[in-house]
């Protein structure tokens, strides 16, 4: 007996094996030993020299059906409807990850046969019901290979989530959020995590120099304040921050996240500011931008450059007045001091464009025909605008009325008067001490007046 090395040797060995099997040799006989040795040598040769194709997923399923005496209708719990079972068995429909899991766990079909890969393992399961997958699909979170319509892609929800997260679904992402929620509102933490991952992915795509913490200073804040005087100030602000290595990503919030923005630390070693533009107003853009800058200045570990000092921030919204909510108030306080004064978060004049709010006009306040806005931590005062008479006043409780639906000016006339007085005092102070500003009109003329909204 010798090793099988050629196809002729293989054919001869098969013939002899068949002869021995027909004779049914007695146990422990020389013939039985020869049969076992031949079987081993044949198997060794075939594994080395003969490429036997693996069964297709449909063939593997059919084989298991024959073994277990199953009919097509018995596969409905594993594959779906009867029509889908028929399409899978005919090779017209590929298996989804959900089908593979069920067929492997429920019927014991080898993964190698279902996935067509050797030594494969299924990734940890991601429950599509935990995420707003349809909304994520419509916003381009997933690769185009899954289909161009939701009807084509929805059966592969878990595969899309696996491709998007790449193992990050349970990975904490340090972020300091600006969220404005009503007291009974619940935040969808899974959707919030998906939004953060999306922002980090988009930040990766943005060209930028290496982040230099030295550049994150009051001079930068002052320059950004000056840029707010231009029509395309939001675009210029994003470019300016990009030159310091800070990526700014505008990504619409996902449902039930109640998110205005967040400051994050990218695994690549640079800070990221994510803005949702949840409210189509420039005051919201600028306030949120400076708010997140406040988080960067206050909570970025500049010395070790390892990201945020505080990363356990999930839970309380901006309305929380204790514990984690105080970090938000400190960021707001820093922003306030850098932009305007110690007591006022916002004090600016806006042009009403009939849809939302228009552009910042800079430090020289003008009250005629344009809404003037001032806000503190809890209240916002609006004089004129929103299609109202120029002298009409709006007062809104930012804690209880996030959407600014209920005008409380008539209920709290003393507060209105106090805020108007403070606004005028601020205007007088700024006008007297303002740094000479660029010729905005000339600049806008050269730029063609572009960029009403970021």
Do the Cβ atoms of 369 and 350 come closer than 8 Å?
Answer: no
Centre a 10 Å sphere on the Cβ of residue 442 and count the other Cβ atoms it contains.
Answer: 9
- Write down the pLDDT at residue 227: 86
- Summarize pLDDT for 240-263 with one digit per residue, the tens: 999 999 999 999 999 998 888 999
Q: Does the domain made of 57-115 have the CATH classification 1.10.1060.10?
A: no
Least Cα distance to 280 among 228, 357, 349, 346 occurs for: 357
What beta strand segments (E) does 87-203 contain? 175-179
Would you state the torsion angle of the CA atoms of residues 437, 216, 246, 221, taken in this order, to the nearest 10 degrees? -30
> What is the rounded distance in angstroms from the CA atom of residue 265 to the CA atom of residue 300?
9
> What is the rounded distance in angstroms from the CA atom of residue 165 to the CA atom of residue 171?
9
Prediction pTM value? 0.63
- Write down the pLDDT at residue 434: 52
Q: What residues contact 213, with CB distance under 8 A and at least 6 apart?
A: 300, 302, 305
Given a cut of 90, whether residue 334 has pLDDT beyond it is no
- Summarize pLDDT for 47-95 with one digit per residue, the tens: 888 766 778 899 999 999 999 999 999 999 999 899 999 999 998 888 9
- Write down the pLDDT at residue 247: 95
| Reported confidence tier of residue 392, pLDDT bands at 50, 70, 90 | confident
DSSP-derived secondary structure for 224-267: HHHHTTSTTHHHHHHHHHHHTT-EEEE-PPPTT--EEEEEEEET
Given a cut of 80, whether residue 330 has pLDDT beyond it is no
Chain centroid offset of residue 421 CA: 43
Top CATH class, 346-447 = alpha beta
Backbone angles phi, psi at 176, to 5 degrees: -115, 115
| Reported confidence tier of residue 46, pLDDT bands at 50, 70, 90 | confident
Q: Coil, strand or helix: which one is 196?
A: helix
Chain mean pLDDT for the chain: 77
> What is the rounded distance in angstroms from the CA atom of residue 101 to the CA atom of residue 158?
11
Q: What is the mean pLDDT of residues 28-49?
A: 87
Do the Cβ atoms of 274 and 251 come closer than 8 Å?
Answer: yes
- Summarize pLDDT for 109-141 with one digit per residue, the tens: 988 889 877 777 889 999 999 999 999 999 999
Q: What residues contact 98, with CB distance under 8 A and at least 6 apart?
A: 155, 158
> What is the rounded distance in angstroms from the CA atom of residue 43 to the CA atom of residue 294?
70
Chain centroid offset of residue 325 CA: 23
Do the Cβ atoms of 310 and 330 come closer than 8 Å?
Answer: no
Q: Flag the least confident range among 177-181, 206-210, 234-238.
A: 177-181
Q: Flag the least confident range among 81-85, 232-236, 449-453.
A: 449-453
| Reported confidence tier of residue 313, pLDDT bands at 50, 70, 90 | very low
- Write down the pLDDT at residue 394: 85
């Amino acid at each position: 007996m010798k090793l099988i090395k050629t196809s002729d040797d293989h054919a001869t060995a098969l013939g002899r094996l068949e002869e021995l099997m027909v004779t049914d040799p007695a146990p422990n006989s020389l013939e039985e030993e020869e049969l076992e040795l031949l079987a081993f040598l044949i198997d060794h040769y075939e594994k080395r020299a003969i490429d036997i194709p693996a069964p297709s997923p449909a063939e593997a399923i059919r084989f298991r059906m024959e073994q277990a005496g199953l009919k097509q209708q018995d596969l409905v719990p594993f594959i779906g409807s009867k029509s889908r079972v028929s399409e899978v068995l005919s090779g017209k429909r590929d298996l989804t990850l959900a089908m593979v899991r069920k067929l492997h766990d429920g019927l014991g079909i080898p993964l190698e046969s279902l996935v067509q890969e050797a030594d494969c393992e299924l990734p940890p399961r991601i429950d599509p019901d935990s995420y707003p997958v349809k909304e994520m699909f419509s916003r381009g979170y997933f690769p185009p290979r899954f289909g161009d319509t939701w009807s084509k892609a929805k059966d592969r929800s878990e595969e899309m989530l696996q491709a998007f997260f790449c193992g990050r679904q349970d990975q904490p992402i340090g972020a300091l959020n600006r969220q404005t929620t009503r007291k009974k509102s619940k935040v969808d933490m899974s959707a919030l995590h998906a939004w953060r991952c999306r922002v980090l992915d988009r930040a990766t795509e943005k060209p930028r120099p290496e982040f230099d913490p030295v550049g994150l200073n009051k001079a930068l804040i002052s320059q950004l304040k000056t840029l707010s005087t231009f029509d395309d100030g939001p675009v210029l602000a994003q470019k300016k921050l990009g030159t310091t290595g800070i990526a700014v990503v505008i990504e619409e919030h996902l449902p039930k996240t109640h998110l205005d923005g967040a400051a994050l630390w990218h695994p690549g070693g640079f800070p990221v500011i994510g803005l949702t533009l949840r409210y189509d107003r420039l005051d919201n853009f600028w306030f949120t931008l400076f708010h997140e800058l406040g988080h960067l200045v206050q909570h970025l570990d500049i010395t070790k450059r390892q990201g945020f000092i505080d990363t356990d921030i999930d839970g309380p919204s901006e309305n929380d007045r204790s514990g984690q909510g105080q970090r938000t108030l400190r960021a707001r306080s820093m922003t306030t001091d850098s932009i305007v004064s110690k007591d006022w978060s916002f004090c600016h004049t806006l042009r009403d464009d009939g849809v939302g709010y228009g552009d910042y006009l800079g430090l020289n306040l003008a009250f005629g025909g344009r809404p003037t806005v001032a806000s503190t931590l809890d209240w916002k005062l609006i004089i004129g605008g929103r299609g109202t008479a120029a002298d009409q006043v709006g007062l809104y409780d930012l804690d209880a009325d996030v959407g600014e639906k209920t005008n409380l000016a008539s209920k709290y006339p003393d507060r209105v008067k106090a805020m108007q007085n403070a606004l005028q005092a601020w205007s007088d102070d700024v006008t007297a001490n303002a740094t000479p500003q660029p010729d905005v009109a000339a600049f806008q003329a050269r730029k063609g007046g572009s960029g009403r909204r970021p």
